[in-house]
Structure 1
Amino acid sequence: MRATEYFDKYRFEGDPALLRRVAEQMVRLLPADTEVLGGLELGGVPIATMVSAMTDLPAVFVRKEAKTYGTRRLAEGPDFAGRAITLIEDIITTGGAVRAAALALRARDSTVHTVVCAIDRSEPGANTLHEVGVRTVSVLTKADLDADSR
Structure 2
Amino acid sequence: MTTSTRLPDLTVRLAETACVTAPFHLADGARLTSYFDEYRLAADPALLRDTAAAIAALVPSGAQLLAGIELGGVPLVVALSAATGLPAVFLRRCPKRYGSRRQIEGAALDGRRAVLVDDVVRSGGQLLAMARTLRIAGAPVTDALCVLERPLGGRALLAEHRVTLHSLLTEADLPTPRKDEGE
Q: TM-score normalised to the size of structure 1?
A: 0.92
Tell me the residue number matched to 1:98: 127
Distance 1:126 1:37, change over 3 A: closer
| Kept in 2: contact 1:23–1:51 (CA 8 A) | yes
**Percentage identity across aligned positions?**
41
Query: Where do 1:1-150 residues align within 5 Å?
Result: 2=30, 4=32, 5-123=34-152, 125-127=153-155, 128-145=157-174, 148-149=175-176
Letter in 2 for 1:12: L
Cα gap change, 1:98 to 1:126, in 2 (>3 Å): closer
Q: Alpha-carbon deviation of 1:133?
A: 0.9
Larger Rg, first or second structure (1 or 2)? 2
Q: 1:3 to 1:83 in 2, by over 3 A?
A: farther
- How many equivalent pairs are there? 147
The alignment partner of 2:159 has SS state of: helix
* TM-align CA RMSD: 1.4
From the superposition, tell whether residues 95 and 3 of structure 1 become closer, same or farther in structure 2 (CA, over 3 Å).
farther
Q: Deviations over 1:14-65 (max 9, x none)?
A: 1001111110111000011110100110000001001111111100001101
Could you list the runs of 5+ residues in structure 1 that have no partner in the other structure? Answer: none
Misfit runs of 4+, over 4 Å: none
Indicate if the aligned counterparts of 2:128 and 2:158 stay in contact, CA closer than 8 A.
yes
For 1:21 and 1:3, the matched residues in 2 are separated by 30
- Evaluate the alpha carbon distance shift between residue 7 and residue 66 of structure 1 in structure 2; reply closer, same or farther with a 3 A threshold: same
2:121–2:154 CA contact under 8 A, matched in 1: no
Q: How far apart, CA to CA, are the structure 2 residues paired with 1:81 and 1:109?
A: 7
CA distance in 2, matches of 1:33, 1:126: 23
Deviation at 1:13, TM superposition (A): 1.5
Name the CA shift for 1:25/1:62 in 2 (closer, same or farther; >3 Å): same
How far apart, in 2, do the equivalents of 1:88 and 1:101 lie?
10
